[in-house]
Structure 1
Amino acid sequence: MAWKSRTRNLQVFDTELSADTVEWCPVSTSQHILACGTYQLQKGAGEEDATPSRTGRLYLFKFRREGSMSPPLTELQRVDTPAILDLKWCHVPVSGEAVLGMAAATGELRLYTLSDGQEGGRSLQALSSLEVGAERLTLSLDWSTGRMNSSDVRLVCSDSAGCVSVLSLADGTLTALSQWKAHDFEAWISAFSYWDTQLVYSGGDDCKLKGWDLRVGSSCPTFTSKRHSMGVCSIHSSPHREHILATGSYDEQVLLWDGRNMRQPLSESPLGGGVWRLKWHPTHEHLLLAACMHNDFHILHCQKAVEGSGGACPVIASYILHNSLAYGADWSQLSLEEAAPCSPAAAAEPKESLTESGGHLRIQYESPTASFDTSLEDDAGQYIPEGIAAPCTSPAAGPVLSSVEDCPSLSCLLASCSFYDHMLHVWRWDWTPDEAQQESEQC
């Protein structure tokens, strides 16, 4: 399959502390809301063996499309917290409100509700918290509601002691249902099977990927895979295709699995850099977003692999404008029916210069890996990664986000964040398969 693909930066925001997780709200009434979490290790003062502290900050933003001369992202709130390792929105409203889950360095799982404030503002309000274990870091969380099913809202989380915990949320209160030792070292990731939420997956620094059936207890996993050669740090169940699972590892590989046969993956895709997070597209079942630590952010097309043809999944787009560890990434479900606004003069000043908007940056992009020598710009002054076609200047016509698999084009809104340079990027990806383009031209 051939395609035309382009990425365009819309805005950059300095989070001040190291940014490691970013999540768009999936609830239909709040899809313009974005949350970002940070993690900062503060060395102890005085004695050399003083225990370092881990601090963080939770940001809340609103995205808006109207107006091309102002940044599309507006900060709504910032909350100082313990260091944040992971954020996930519940896919459905809980008691009529969007709920955000936070995995904290204090060993806690915290929940916040997205509430309406004065003058129509939105803010996060603390809902509930539960310590899953003392002297450990909560490393990941996932909700059971990935297929928009709210009949039984539960969470799973993993921690630095190698444990996995399953919790329920009822009447605004978190209750621990079970906890077990799942891995020998850090359990970097845990996730539900969205099609059978009695099934849980976990991955750890012991290089093992495991499955668990909550109906039969946690004394023995349903499978243990050693197919990854290094720590397993990302797992995401497909909300579109039953049994399909994506996993990523420090070994720089993305593996796709059929959950009915975990002896051999459907495909293996080398991406480089260590695959920290994987996200299936919310409506397009074959698109997979990968945050690859030392090797930027990439979008894979997984159709052939999912259908059993084997082979690596091709990378159809890359976003390479971060200058540090690529950790957090997420798709927005917000429709981009009109041309998305871009930050004015995005390539006009050095990246160190702050505008008066309080943390927003105008940046002059440089190669993070020195892999190319020239910077490419379109007519509007926007950076174009090497090998990507120049974007069209006319806005797309009609709806461009569709759940129909053979739609002629997609225009997607994404967010990503990087660690040591403490940067949050909001960007747009436009994609047109050549075959669909040719058919549309013939009509």
Structure 2
Amino acid sequence: MEARSTARTLQVVDTEYSADAVEWCPIDTWHHVLTCGTYQLKDPKEKGAGDSEINEPHVRQGRLYLYCFNPDRLYSPLTEVQRIEMPAILDLKWCHVPVAGHPVLGIANAEGNLELCHLTHCEKNSCSLEPMCSVSIGPDCLALSLDWSTGREEKPLKIISSDSKGCLSLLSVDGCRSALDVVSRWKAHDFEAWIAAFNYWNTDVVYSGGDDSKLKGWDMRMGTDRAIFISNGHSMGVCSIQSSPHKQHILATGSYDEHVLIWDSRQMKRPLVDTHVRGGVWRVKWHPTQENLLLAACMHNGYHILNCEGTFNSSLEDEKESPILYSYILHNSLAYGADWSRLSFDAQLPTEHQPVSSSTETQSKRKYDQRAKEAQVKFQHLKLQYESPTGLFDMVVEDELDDYGDGFPGSLQASSTSQNMDPAATKQRNPAAVHWTKSKASLLATCSFYDHILHVWRWERSNIVCSS
């Protein structure tokens, strides 16, 4: 029995500003809601000749997009319902449980603030985000990341955040009075603290990663004067961390060193698994229901879905890589934002009684392939610039093509089959021996930076059963 992965791009959206964060809402009845955050460094116009100052400071502008996804719409299932101008967004996360009866979104911005917005119903069966509260985590810094304590536990509501001065901030959330308070702030890293995350199984413990290449653990019950561990497992800046919501003690981390590491939090001297994904890992996201699947946003090398099933049975003496089940490489710029939706899709792939190839399907595939090639040609006109990791966001980028957001295909298709299994070839060898089993499909959203593009796509994995 062989495994086959198939992905289909459902929609491509031009976000106008550089896109760096996407999040599907995890709250029941709101799983169709998607948010996207952007970051744009604006180069101000020069002042008049008589003015003493030549240039104004650069301005970091952002825009928050709110979308609704309709799975019943074959074309353009994603609809923009709101856009909000605000300071540049570096990270955003939904609380996993309602707060005062509403879904709540946390936003980390370039002015060093954490902002909370709650989602409400509005007319015509739509929705909108409304400001809830805001707090500064420190002067003259950028808030770089945030994580909620609610990955498994509902209370108490806490947020951990990291900033460009290498500090972490622990915050409490009071939903009744719509308040966000800084409980503690401490110096955690020598340079930028790119990421901070909770241990979802014990929210007194938090993890942090910085541009000093350190991965650290902190126990709030023991104070913040000293980390409970410091790992040098990564050779470059640590930019992504997520505790598994399914398996206790399992932790995933990613770095500019192009490696995804899976750890047992009880033994942080050496990772359980080290997977080279050939691109700096800006985000890692565990699948919300399938415990073995991990999504990695790999900057210069697209998006990869890793199978971590073998990790949970491995020992420290049996280090290996996690197999990559699928690579989504249709973005043409830095792969930053990525998230799984909790919307469920049950797909029945073709069997012997449902022919795989028909003239209509063949023509459709040719059309999709042609439009995909046209899209890639348009992408090539973009001027992409990349410097040091610490200057990652602060670049002014020009593009030579003003209308590349138009004309993108509504559905692009790509697929991969493990061990180069070709169903058509197998069918030729034994036509009556091949059928594809039903598979679970996942909905994903990914976004890339300099081309300011958001993709919504569907991925599914099926088994090809060959009977003798």
Structure 2 match to 1:432: 462
Q: Which residue identity lines up with residue 362 of structure 1 in the other structure?
A: G
Among candidates 128, 133, 138, match of residue 123 of structure 1: 128
Structure 2 match to 1:177: 183
Whether contact under 8 Å (1:12, 1:362) holds in the other structure is no
Distance 1:362 1:306, change over 3 A: farther
Determine if the alignment matches structure 1 residue 204 to structure 2 residue 249: no
Give the CA RMSD over aligned residues: 2.7
Determine if the alignment matches structure 1 residue 316 to structure 2 residue 342: no
The CA deviation at 1:347 is 5.5
The CA deviation at 1:66 is 1.2
**Counterpart-to-counterpart distance in 2, 1:235 and 1:28:** 25
Structure 1 match to 2:444: 414
Whether contact under 8 Å (1:319, 1:385) holds in the other structure is no
**Counterpart-to-counterpart distance in 1, 2:369 and 2:254:** 33
Whether contact under 8 Å (2:347, 2:439) holds in the other structure is no
Deviations 1:147-181 (A, max 9, x none): 1x222111000000000001011121101111100
**Counterpart-to-counterpart distance in 2, 1:331 and 1:222:** 31
The CA deviation at 1:102 is 0.4
Q: Which residue identity lines up with residue 150 of structure 2 in the other structure?
A: T
The CA deviation at 1:33 is 0.2
Determine if the alignment matches structure 1 residue 146 to structure 2 residue 151: yes
Whether contact under 8 Å (2:166, 2:191) holds in the other structure is yes
Secondary structure at 1:411 match in 2: strand
Aligned-residue sequence identity (percent) comes to 52
Structure with max Cα Rg? 2
Structure 2 match to 1:137: 142
Q: Where does structure 1 lack aligned partners over 5 or more consecutive residues?
A: 365-379, 393-406
Secondary structure at 1:134 match in 2: coil
Structure 2 match to 1:374: none
Structure 2 match to 1:402: none
Whether contact under 8 Å (2:213, 2:234) holds in the other structure is yes
Distance 1:295 1:271, change over 3 A: same
Q: Which residue identity lines up with residue 245 of structure 2 in the other structure?
A: P
**Counterpart-to-counterpart distance in 2, 1:166 and 1:13:** 35
Determine if the alignment matches structure 1 residue 363 to structure 2 residue 408: yes
Among candidates 228, 239, 253, match of residue 247 of structure 1: 253
Q: Normalising by structure 1, what TM-score?
A: 0.85
**Counterpart-to-counterpart distance in 2, 1:286 and 1:242:** 13
The CA deviation at 1:386 is 6.5
Structure 2 match to 1:218: 224
Structure 2 match to 1:106: 111
Structure 1 match to 2:3: 3
**Counterpart-to-counterpart distance in 2, 1:34 and 1:390:** 35
Whether contact under 8 Å (1:304, 1:310) holds in the other structure is no
Whether contact under 8 Å (1:229, 1:251) holds in the other structure is yes
Distance 1:37 1:339, change over 3 A: farther
Structure 1 match to 2:12: 12
Q: Where does structure 2 lack aligned partners over 5 or more consecutive residues?
A: 47-52, 350-363, 380-402, 425-436
Q: Which residue identity lines up with residue 293 of structure 1 in the other structure?
A: M
- Which is helix-richer, 1 or 2? 2
Which piece of structure 1 moves more, 253-262 or 118-127? 118-127
Whether contact under 8 Å (1:88, 1:142) holds in the other structure is yes
Q: Normalising by structure 2, what TM-score?
A: 0.81
**Counterpart-to-counterpart distance in 2, 1:307 and 1:42:** 49
Query: Where in structure 2 are the equivalents of 1:43-442 lying within 5 Å?
Result: 43-46=43-46, 50-68=56-74, 70-147=75-152, 149-170=153-174, 171=176, 172-308=178-314, 309-337=318-346, 350-351=374-375, 361-363=406-408, 382-385=412-415, 409-434=439-464, 437=465
Distance 1:384 1:156, change over 3 A: same
The CA deviation at 1:120 is 2.1
Distance 1:179 1:254, change over 3 A: same
Deviations 1:263-301 (A, max 9, x none): 011010000110000000000001000000000000000
Whether contact under 8 Å (1:256, 1:306) holds in the other structure is no
Secondary structure at 2:456 match in 1: strand
Secondary structure at 2:66 match in 1: strand
Deviations 1:405-437 (A, max 9, x none): xx9632100000000000000000010245xx5
Q: Which residue identity lines up with residue 8 of structure 2 in the other structure?
A: R
Whether contact under 8 Å (1:13, 1:359) holds in the other structure is no
Distance 1:216 1:59, change over 3 A: same
The CA deviation at 1:387 is 6.0
Secondary structure at 1:264 match in 2: coil
